[in-house]
Amino acid sequence: MGSVSFKDIAIVSCGTLSMELKALQKEGFLDTGHLLFTTPGLHQDIAELERQLVDRIEKARRSVEKVIVVYGGKFCYVNADEPLRTMSVIIEEQGPGVTRIDATHCMDMIADEAQRDAIAQELAGGEPVWWMTPGWVKFRHKVFQGWDKGLANENFPKHTGGAIVLDAVGYLDQYMAEKPEEFLEYCDWMGIPMQAYPVTLDRFKSLLTDQARKLAAL
């Protein structure tokens, strides 16, 4: 992967991935003092997502010129009223020095499609899986804001392989140990079982490194 410094780079991310990014900062991989987060779950409120994202980028650029945005390109921002207005367009509007991680959504940042297919085969026999990262558990009430049991019933049960949490920070085991009733209530609300799959942050590091190198070449 090679050694890359993030000292002159700010990271602006969806808050859903705050645990992973803080872990990378703690271990010294992200040697930046500039981590800025938007509220988790804003894929359901794209106007607020765009407002917060631009605001955090502007705040970051008061301190540094370079910014890596940690948001997916395909699923995190879907504008039904303006289909041609995509996450890529928003990033381009911020001008040079702002780039975005190359992934479709937060799960893809942690494990690519081939990895997810292999995990689904291992844990769910290849059945359809509802993928999550730990932030989808910790920030449940923001990520699923406005969802009632009826909406849950429409979406989750067709994932007959259950929910799999791509956990690189050991969050779910701790959550189950400390709040077992809350964990069981969450599974009951979804109508499918939930289990953790331990992964590393190697892919995430690689994707961040790619963007840091791109910015260094500017």
Task: Give the tens place of pLDDT for each residue, 76-105.
Answer: 888 888 888 989 999 999 999 999 999 999
pLDDT of 1 reads: 46
pLDDT of 75 reads: 79
Region 9-106+201-216: CATH code: 3.40.50
- Kindly indicate the confidence band of residue 40, based on its pLDDT and cuts at 50, 70 and 90: very high
Reading the block at residue 34, the tokens are: 């500039």
pLDDT of 110 reads: 98
DSSP 10: E
Strands (E), 3-154: 9-14, 35-38, 66-70, 98-100, 130-132
Q: In this structure, which amino acid lies at residue 74? A: K
Burial of 83 (0-12, 13-18, 19+ CB in 10 A): exposed
The region of weakest confidence among 52-61, 84-93, 105-114 is 84-93
pLDDT of 2 reads: 55
Mean pLDDT of 48-72: 96
- Residue 21's Cβ-side half-sphere holds a number of Cα atoms within 13 Å equal to 25
User: Domain spans of the chain?
Assistant: 9-106+201-216, 112-198
For 63, residues 6+ apart whose C-beta sits below 8 A from its C-beta are 10, 34
pLDDT of 155 reads: 94
Q: Regarding predicted confidence, which is higher, 153 or 218? A: 153
For 82, residues 6+ apart whose C-beta sits below 8 A from its C-beta are none
pLDDT of 130 reads: 98
pTM of the complete model: 0.93
Check pLDDT > 70 for residue 74. Answer: yes
